[in-house]
Amino acid sequence: MTTKLFGTGVQRVEDERLLRGHGRYVDDVLAGAGTLHAAVLRSPHAHARITDIDVSDVLDVDGVHLVWTHDDLTGAMAEPLPLLIPHPALTHGRTQHALARDEVNHVGEAIAFVVADDRYIAEDAVGRIRVAYEFLEPVVGIDAARAADHLVHDDVPGNVGARLEQENGDARAAIESAPHTLSLDLTIERSACTPLEGRGTVARWDPDVGRMTVWTSTQTSTGVRAAVAAKLGLDLAQVDVITPDVGGGFGVKINHPWPEELLVPMAARSLGRPVKFTEDRREHFISSAHERGQVHHVEVGFDDDGRVLGLDVTFWHDHGAWTPYGLIVPIITSTQLLGPYKPGSYRVVFESLYTNTVMVTPYRGAGRPQGCYVMERTLDAIAASLGKDRTEVRAANFIQPDEFPYDQGLIFQDGRELEYDSGDYPASLAKLKELVGWDEFPAFRAEMAAEGRRVGIGLACYVEGTGVGPYEGAHVHIETSGKVKVATGLTTQGQGHATSFAQIAADELGVALEDVEVVTGDTRRMPYAVGTFASRAAVMSGSAIHLAAKAAREKALRIAAEALEASVDDLEIADGVVSVRGTDSSIDLGTVAVLSNPLRYAFDEASKAATQFSVGDPGKPPVAEDDEPGLEGRDFYSPERSTFASGMHAVVVETDPDTAEVRILKYAVVHDCGNLINPMIVEGQIHGGVAQGVAGALYERMAYDESGQLLNASFMDFLMPYVTEVPASIEIDHIETPSPLNPLGIKGAGEAGVIPSAAVFASAIEDAERLDHPGLGITSMPISPSDLFDLRRRHSQETP
């Protein structure tokens, strides 16, 4: 008997392959005999004019096949790379060239591209290229960008790429007339996705059929395909993009096309041999993308209960040297900042600023960690000023369960209204308090204090718009073997889609999980797709697969009913067999697949078995007018708007009174992503998010010096957590408020774990410091022991 798989933590089907070392990541792709390897000359300077590039020594190197600079690019390839997401407020959008033309704007920008027999030789050649620079003043950091003593781009006044304002109600008037007001300045520094596998691209041009095959480590194969076709002057039909196994993405691989994603296929066509580019770790730090760097100013007015009457937020977003991904990150901060709360009025304005640093594109959470940090710091400050418990102030501001759908009166990142579909925030808070032991904490604090130890507790709440449109599609094919082949176009970088999507298809079709094979990110199998970002894969492709499987099921039942001379209503499918309920009469799905195609070459057992059945009207065409041969289903899911997941985290920390080290004693998560497809996978996503959150709150930052050099561009210096830095355990509880927007009632889960981290640690550390340093405010994250040490010292000096 087939049991329902949706909701069960079945083991992942992709693991067997990956555990044996049989995964196929982009650098593992063979692509054919004689594959050549690319290396890139990158700018060592943050801001300079290129006055000359001398490549004359390069072609002398044995094994070098090609060297290109911008002068070698023509047509669309010579133009700037696309601005993927324009916005009317992005008045000064700028994007880089595939290879720098005349000027470089950050350390790491691509200047020349070399192809050689292997990477070693290609790097030798890169070392022989001589570039003459005329130095320009670098603009590093938000303060320098705002001061605008120097410009990143001559034609962008004030270094301002965009200014956007949204308002719901009259926030400034509300603050003016509020019984209490506060203002805060809150900073958060840069970090980066840092997947263990960097970027990489392999391309093979097949002159026999005039076709380009590209394997790339991306979060959008369809996007790369369209870019390669447009930039190389190929028809879309000539380009296939295959996403192999991807060693983590976390956002950075949604940006596209990267220079190498175009240069590699161009070189493959030019040389008639496969070409491969694999980014190394230093390159990933200085030539991919970062995120998070923002400075915020908050004005808030509130009543005696801590209810926010007016909230006015101004912030400055450092988007680095280029803006290929538009304003997505600051728009998300500005809207998702509101979290589960309903301030009386809200105004937000941001400026998105150029600096001579690596560009900014979404990193897991995509602006939400900053927004959550700003909102939660503000609520903590309100609680402190009123002498109230921090959870009470949250509760006073929550949207209530009977208020859904709740319209926040703003426009979200997808251009739709910011309208929450469902949730139960008071229930989440109750669960969180229980899970972390909120009410028992004062006793614990006293007990620890008696031992000379300093502990603190913090909490933070967030709402995450997930499953943004516009659409995803799915194709389901039941083969005559009874095996089910599912294809969806978005990509996979560790989320276990081959399992969770198979669970959905197997349930709908009544087949065993092991008979379902899921392919993602292969444009040959599903050419219409958007990509994997914004916690959208389960919602979008999960729903599309459900719909496509449903279509295949309906067709299977229609054919089986005819073959079995029964009514569709009397049929059921279990274990891959369609049967008439309560009788022995049955037919295998594989046999139904044979019957679905009038061309019946008897190659397999199913075809032989099919001879006993008869379907179709002999008086009509073999394929009816409204039908197609084959047992397939294809459908698309396109939602009205995003669905809103939510969650709350709490952490108990201990701060060392002498060394200012921070130890995590307990970490608790309550999470609501609607109906869970696979709880094991969801919890894995939360674990990973929390670890990345800890990283961003306590360890990771991009250490740029004033000349724009990234001083910690290696794993030696960029403090990515090992197991020793993450919580020893993470307590997780779920709430399931199904989304009314999709057929499965699901919401996204991928980014959630990372969103509240900066906020929750700031809250807990501030709480731990209360005893020895009352009034010490944590306003800048991440916070290292030396930061906290300095903060204590400054605080003691200021408050004698």
Partner 1 sequence: MTEELHEVRLSVNGAVHVVRVPARRLLSDALRHDLGLTGTHVGCEHGVCGACTVLIDGRPVRSCLVFTVSAVDTEITTVEGLTEPDGSLGPVQQAFKECHGLQCGFCTPGFLTTITAGLRDNPTPTRDEAREMVAGNLCRCTGYQNIVKSVERAAALVEEGRQGPSRNPAREAGSR
Which token pair is 452?
A: 């000379």
Instruction: Write down the least CB distance from residue 684 to partner 1, Å.
Output: 5
Residue 231 burial (C-beta neighbours within 10 Å; 0-12, 13-18, 19+): buried
Q: Using the rule CB under 8 A, is 245 a contact of partner 1? A: yes
Q: Using the rule CB under 8 A, is 601 a contact of partner 1? A: no
Q: Using the rule CB under 8 A, is 15 a contact of partner 1? A: yes
Q: Are 694 and 725 in contact (CB under 8 A)?
A: yes
Site stretch for partner 1 (CB under 8 A), options 244-252, 574-582, 589-597, 788-796? 244-252
Q: Using the rule CB under 8 A, is 1 a contact of partner 1? A: no
Residue closer to partner 1, measured from CB, 243 or 408: 243
Q: Using the rule CB under 8 A, is 244 a contact of partner 1? A: no
Instruction: Write down the least CB distance from residue 669 to partner 1, Å.
Output: 11
Query: How many binding residues for partner 1 (CB under 8 A)?
Result: 58
What is the DSSP code (8-state) at residue 474? E
Q: Which positions from 182 through 211 interact with partner 1, judged by CB under 8 A?
A: 194-197
Residue closer to partner 1, measured from CB, 435 or 563: 435
Residue closer to partner 1, measured from CB, 548 or 694: 694
What secondary structure does DSSP assign to 730-752, as a single string?
-EEEE-----TTSTT-B---SSG
Q: Which positions from 555 through 584 interact with partner 1, judged by CB under 8 A?
A: none
Mask of contacts with partner 1, 280-299, x by CB under 8 A?
Answer: xx------------------
Q: Using the rule CB under 8 A, is 60 a contact of partner 1? A: yes
Q: Are 225 and 241 in contact (CB under 8 A)?
A: yes
**Single-letter code of the amino acid located at 693:** G
Q: Are 466 and 659 in contact (CB under 8 A)?
A: no
Residue closer to partner 1, measured from CB, 74 or 724: 724
Q: Using the rule CB under 8 A, is 56 a contact of partner 1? A: no
- Residues 685-712 as b/e (b if ≥16 CB within 10 A, e otherwise) read bbbbbbbbbbbbbbbbbbebeeebbbee
Nearest-angstrom CA–CA distance, 616 and 619: 9
First-to-final CA distance of the chain: 74
Question: Which of 376, 392, 382 lies closest to 758, judged by CA?
Answer: 376
Q: Using the rule CB under 8 A, is 85 a contact of partner 1? A: no
Q: Using the rule CB under 8 A, is 630 a contact of partner 1? A: no
Q: Which positions from 473 through 502 interact with partner 1, judged by CB under 8 A?
A: 493-496
Q: Are 123 and 39 in contact (CB under 8 A)?
A: yes
Site stretch for partner 1 (CB under 8 A), options 6-14, 40-48, 158-166, 760-768? 6-14
What is the DSSP code (8-state) at residue 399? P
Q: Which positions from 669 through 708 interact with partner 1, judged by CB under 8 A?
A: 680-681, 683-684, 687-692
Site stretch for partner 1 (CB under 8 A), options 114-122, 505-513, 522-530, 615-623? 114-122
Residue closer to partner 1, measured from CB, 603 or 715: 715
Which token pair is 37?
A: 């390897």
> Sheet harboring 516-520: ordered strands across?
516-520, 484-488, 472-478, 632-637
Residue closer to partner 1, measured from CB, 14 or 661: 14
Instruction: Write down the least CB distance from residue 728 to partner 1, Å.
Output: 7
Residue closer to partner 1, measured from CB, 120 or 528: 120
Residues 227, 231, 232, 237, Cα dihedral to 10°: 40
Q: What's phi and psi for 446, nearest 5 deg?
A: -65, -40
Residue closer to partner 1, measured from CB, 55 or 557: 55
Q: Using the rule CB under 8 A, is 220 a contact of partner 1? A: no
Nearest-angstrom CA–CA distance, 376 and 412: 20
Sites of contact with partner 1 (CB under 8 A):
11-12, 14-16, 18-25, 27-28, 60-62, 118-120, 194-197, 245-248, 250, 280-281, 493-496, 680-681, 683-684, 687-692, 714-716, 720, 722-724, 726, 728-730, 753
